Amino acid sequence: MIDIRLLRDDPAGTTAALARRGVDAAEVAAVIAADGAHRSLQTRAEGLRAEVKMLSRAVGEAMKSGDQPRAEELRAESRRLGDEERRLASEAEAEGEKVHQGLLYLPNIPADEVPDGASDADNVEIRRWWPGIGRAAAEPTRLAHQQVPHWEIGAALQLLDMERGARLSGSMFPLYRGAGARLLRALTSLALDRHSPAYEEIRPPTMVLTETMVSTGHLPKFADDAYHLERDDLWAIPTAEVPLTSMHRGEILEESVLPLRYTAATACYRREAGSAGRDTRGLLRVHEFDKVELFAYATPAQALDAQADILRRAELLLQDLALRYRVMDLCTGDLGGPSARTFDLEVYSSGVDRWLEVSSTSWYRDYQARRAQVRYRPAGGGPVQLVHTVNGSALAWPRLWAALIENGYQEDGTVLLPECLAPYLGGELLIKAP
């Protein structure tokens, strides 16, 4: 969450910054008003508490002097003030909860460099890459034989069975088989090998507590998009970012160990609640998918370099996989709630003739760390500070799997995979019909 001091010290500037993200000024004003009421009520309650203590001492003195009527009078006044103090304390607590809930729903303040915009249509393309870019100026064209969507290729070569996946779990739960399943496993192994040992490999739980989801900003605002096991009050993770963000929840780290870098390969689960009727064919939008995540805890001075490193690693993987891609600077209207700045990587997939997002690399400032209370002790002394968190996918597999199948489709109906996968596929890069 954002720092409440920003709302107290610069309400106009903070309101204007959040307005860039479409946050109504009234929503911000409500948090500011609740904070003012909370502090005022707290001050009044504390004043009454002090008066009650003084009256208690006065009662004792009256009792010592034998002035029983005065003692009873003071007791009555003490009870009256005590009742009033408890009422004010209760009201203060209620206003404090309004502040807390309001802050949980407010998004992060966007970095100054984030382009303004209302939707993904306003995202800014920074650069694009394709195989041979250094030798040939022309961007590759869409070949006629590659204008076949991955779900048709997958069915023909028995790599992907969406029908049986739906029979098992419902729509948008894919079932990979044979060479299709091996390709998924090969991609995960390739990515983990490329990121280790610079990033420590973690295998976290994929079911987490409510407070773990709150720490990243997925709750309470995005509860409808998550899978919840009510009996155990556990949530299926939408990304490994969730458990990694809370690995050091409540801890104070030494600056000397930062940045801490982790990678994790997990299944991820998303309801895609707002996607009814959109991109539901094949692997364009699914409820369960595998992803390799990169994550870093950093000091504020290290955070942008940490983000750049994750983005670089994701790009290098796409280059090794010989996939044409572009880098997008997300605008304020498309920025995820907790993010201060995000870069997306989109690969071109010839069969569907579309750019498909396969990675998001985000810098959160201290937004998540404030929720998770992850802090560090500066090496030069001084008060402890909140860390900054950075994460990114390197990479998410369903759309990338689709792009590899579509872009590698050959005129004879086979699929040719990139050379970098050979060590993970026993050297067999050509997928043929069984």
Does the pTM surpass 0.75? The reply is yes
List phi, psi (to 5°) of 413.
90, 0
Residues 6+ apart with CB under 8 A from 95: 34, 35, 37, 38, 41
CATH 3.40.50.300 holds for 120-431: no
Q: Closest Cα partner for 111 from 297, 304, 261?
A: 304
The CATH 3.30.930.10 domain(s) of the chain lie at: 120-431
| Tens digit of each residue's pLDDT (9 = 90 or more) over 210-262 | 999 999 999 999 999 999 999 999 999 999 999 999 999 999 999 999 999 99
Sheet containing 252-254: give its strands across: 252-254, 375-377, 385-386
**CA 280, CA 22: separation in Å to the nearest integer?**
28
As averages over each run of 10 residues, the pLDDT of the chain (434 residues) reads 97 98 98 98 96 94 93 94 96 97 98 97 97 81 93 98 97 97 98 97 98 97 95 98 98 98 98 73 96 98 98 98 98 98 98 97 98 97 97 97 98 98 98 94
| Domain 4-105 class, CATH top level | mainly alpha
**CA 291, CA 287: separation in Å to the nearest integer?**
13
The CATH 1.10.287.40 domain(s) of the chain lie at: 4-105
Q: Closest Cα partner for 28 from 6, 53, 54, 57?
A: 6
Residues 6+ apart with CB under 8 A from 253: 260, 297, 374, 375, 376, 377, 387
Neighbours of 243 (CB within 10 A): 27
The SS3 of residue 289 is strand
CA 342-345-347 angle, 5° bins: 160
- Residue 19: both structure tokens together: 């307005």
Q: Given this model, what pLDDT does residue 208 score?
A: 98
**CA 420, CA 322: separation in Å to the nearest integer?**
9
